[in-house]
Amino acid sequence: MAQSSDPFSSLIKKFNPAKVVRSSVGLDIGVGSCRMVEVVNRADGFELVRWAIEPIVAGDVVKSIRTVMSKVSQPNLSPVTALTGKGTLIRFVDMPKMSLADLKRSFSFEVDKYFPFPKDQIFTDCYILDPQGIDNKLPVLVAAAKKELVHERIKLMTSAGLQADFITLGSISIANVFNVLGSPPISKDSSGQGKRAIAVLDIGELVSNLTILVDNRPRFNRDVFLGGRDFTKSISNALRVTVEEAEKIKQEPKERAQDVAVSIESVAFDLVSELRLSFDYFMTEANIPISQLFLTGGTTAMEHLRQSLSKQLEVDAVCWNPIRLLKLNAEVVEADINAKAGYLGSALGLALYC
């Protein structure tokens, strides 16, 4: 990582959990809402203590942040948060075997090789994905975020009365859930190869993010500039209803499920096409099959979309509920949080940076 006196230059803190003595809070600031997850790392595993989702009304992000943070069980002025979308970037590269300290020093001189941003305009970091490596090569994740985005987030957090001690990237927070809590067991393929990859598609309001993981560590990442609003607009146009009505229908189609399925066909086709390109590229480069696709984000409530992705990509697509990997505090209503679990993956990953 390029060394800097600025305490917010680190984008990747760690993937491995550490002991905590108090609750940890993840704050996911989205386009349409803010999501908060609070966990405690107890001796018998992680416990979900509190959670909240608050819509952003009339563009008042600060109010939404303050509202969700008012729900934590004890005062917390420094939740972990993340940046997403344009101005952020992740790359996966092979480097000669060396220590992490040496890697960071070396990387600071080679930043220009990996990112299309001027070196003095970004914060960067790197992380060794597999210390063992192969053929004296280390697989390394390198990440960058424009300084202006980081400073804007710091300003936003300060306006809400919070500190921004650590800022990461959204896709890394998703990967952190799998690394800390694990993923469902995956059987060996017919060749006996044993290694399988899993993919996570986080469908945001404006941008979706695809992360492919091997052994619960990210090995591929890409932003797809299609999101929930594209599906909502398609439903609105096809059914001739307002965008607000279309959003409600998208979340709970009920008797209009078939109409919704027809109305989103073109957007779903575009999304499948983008994902297929990414899957083909990854499987060609890594020679590892993708066994399962986990879907997260509010739009994944559309059953037809899940079925379409499964069929067209020839992979088992499931709606991801990471909350089932946690113990629940007595104050948490299981039915309520399970209904909203699709919105909480990134917030949970951030909270797990304990």
pLDDT confidence of residue 12: 53
Answer yes or no: same fold for 1-182+322-354 and 196-320.
yes
Least confident window among 74-88, 97-111, 275-289: 97-111
**Is the pLDDT at 193 greater than 60, yes or no?**
no
pLDDT confidence of residue 194: 60
* Nearest-angstrom CA–CA distance, 332 and 51: 8
CA angle 259, 337, 63 (to 5 degrees): 90
Considering only residues 324 and 189, tell me which one the structure prediction assigns the higher pLDDT. 324
Beta-carbon-side half-sphere exposure of residue 165 (alpha carbons within 13 Å):
12
**Is there a contact between 67 and 53 (Cβ–Cβ < 8 Å)?**
no
CATH architecture, range 196-320: 2-Layer Sandwich (3.30)
Please give the CATH number for the structural domain made up of 1-182+322-354: 3.30.420.380
- Domain positions in the chain are 1-182+322-354, 196-320
* Nearest-angstrom CA–CA distance, 14 and 18: 9
pLDDT confidence of residue 59: 94
Residue 146 backbone dihedrals phi, psi, to 5 degrees? -65, 140
**Sequence-separated (6 or more) residues with CB below 8 Å from residue 143:** 11, 12, 88, 89, 90, 91, 124, 125, 126, 127, 169, 172
Determine how β-strand 316-319 pairs with β-strand 290-296. Answer: parallel
The DSSP 8-state label assigned to residue 134 in this structure reads: B
Query: What average pLDDT does the segment 140-167 reach?
Result: 92
Residue 80 backbone dihedrals phi, psi, to 5 degrees? -85, 135
pLDDT in tens, 261-293: 999 999 999 999 999 999 999 999 999 999 999
Beta-carbon-side half-sphere exposure of residue 43 (alpha carbons within 13 Å):
0
Strand, helix or coil for residue 194: coil
Q: Which of 49, 53, 56, 54 is nearest to 76 (CA)?
A: 49
Strand, helix or coil for residue 330: coil
Task: Output 232-240 pairs: Cβ under 8 A, ≥24 positions apart.
Answer: 234/263, 234/264, 234/266, 234/267, 235/260, 235/263, 235/264, 237/263, 238/262, 238/263, 239/263
* Nearest-angstrom CA–CA distance, 92 and 95: 10
pLDDT in tens, 18-39: 444 468 999 999 999 999 999 9
**Is the pLDDT at 8 greater than 70, yes or no?**
no
pTM exceeding the 0.85 threshold for the entire prediction: yes
* Nearest-angstrom CA–CA distance, 186 and 183: 8
Query: What average pLDDT does the segment 12-16 reach?
Result: 47
Query: What average pLDDT does the segment 87-93 reach?
Result: 92
Written as six digits, the tokens of 282 are 């990854």
The DSSP 8-state label assigned to residue 273 in this structure reads: H
pLDDT band at 235 (very low <50, low <70, confident <90, very high): very high
pLDDT confidence of residue 184: 59
**Sequence-separated (6 or more) residues with CB below 8 Å from residue 277:** none
pLDDT in tens, 319-348: 999 999 899 999 999 999 999 999 999 999
**Is there a contact between 310 and 139 (Cβ–Cβ < 8 Å)?**
no
DSSP string, 8-54: T--S---SS----SS-EEEEEE-SSEEEEEEEEEETTEEEEEEEEEE
